[in-house]
A = this chain, B = another copy of it.
Amino acid sequence: MTQKIEVVTSVLKANDAIAAENRKRMEAAGILALNITSAPGSGKTTLLEKSLPLLGDPERCAVLVGDLQTTRDAERLCNAGVRAVQINTGRGCHLDATQVTKGLDSLDLESLDYVVIENVGNMVCPAGFDLGEHKRVVLLSTPEGEDKVAKYPTLFQPADVILLTKVDLAEILEFSPETAKSDLKQINTRAPFIEVSSKTGQGIDDWIDWLKAVRAGLYPA
């Protein structure tokens, strides 16, 4: 078991060095980079489809999208007018910094303001891997239940913003945002909590405003 731990540690160290390079490359181009993580099916791709075109020129956004298989998500995002690069991980349960480097190689970074890295749908594995992002975005969807915050603290603790998605279903599901918020207070007091619905549009403006403010803070005019 000691041997396993050593290998994992060295993999993480190598990953962090590559992530730092990714971040430096994107900063040189004035890009805000985001790493979006959540359970499968919580609405990452749908949120990006609906919101990125509202950020300004959709051509100045690119999404690197991680999935074990298929190019479905990249196709959906291309149809929404943003640039999208699909990264298939095979059996891998998270993206790593090297995969992101390859994705960045395929883009003209100077033409971009935002790079959104949509991680593999998974509440555990992506948490440990820096990809070179500036901010980490975590989604919780109402059908998953309020208890996920307490059950997956390693995901929610490092979040810079938490989006409660599918709030249009909160009533029918008897989901209590207050319970989720109360659990969040135990582990993360700094991340804003934004309730959104990609279906009704609720909260999408707040999410867009957050993105713009964070980029403006990183690159003051």
Contacts and interface: CB of A to CB of B under 8 A. Distances in A.
Interface of A: 3-4, 7, 11, 39-41, 67-70, 72, 91-93, 120-125, 127-128, 141, 143-145, 147-148, 150-154, 166, 169, 172
Q: Which of A152, A153, A172 has the most CB of B within 10 A?
A: A152
Q: Lowest 9 CB-CB distances: which A-B pairs, in order?
A: A41-B144, A143-B143, A93-B124, A39-B40, A40-B123, A41-B145, A70-B150, A67-B151, A39-B39
Contact of A122 (B91, B123, B148, B150): B123
A69 B153 contact: yes
A189 to B, nearest CB: 18
Count this chain's copies in the assembly: 2
Contacts of A147: 70, 72
Given A4-B7, A40-B152, A143-B141, A124 B68 contact: yes
A124 B95 CA distance: 13
A4 B128 CA distance: 17
Contacts of A41: 39, 141, 143-145, 148
B68 A154 contact: yes
Contacts of A128: 91
Given A39-B40, A40-B151, A40-B152, A143 B124 contact: no
Contact of A121 (B69, B93, B123): B123
A152 B7 CA distance: 27
Contacts of A172: 169, 172
Nearest to A91: B154
B69 A151 contact: yes
Given A150-B70, A172-B172, A93 B125 contact: yes
A112 B92 CA distance: 37
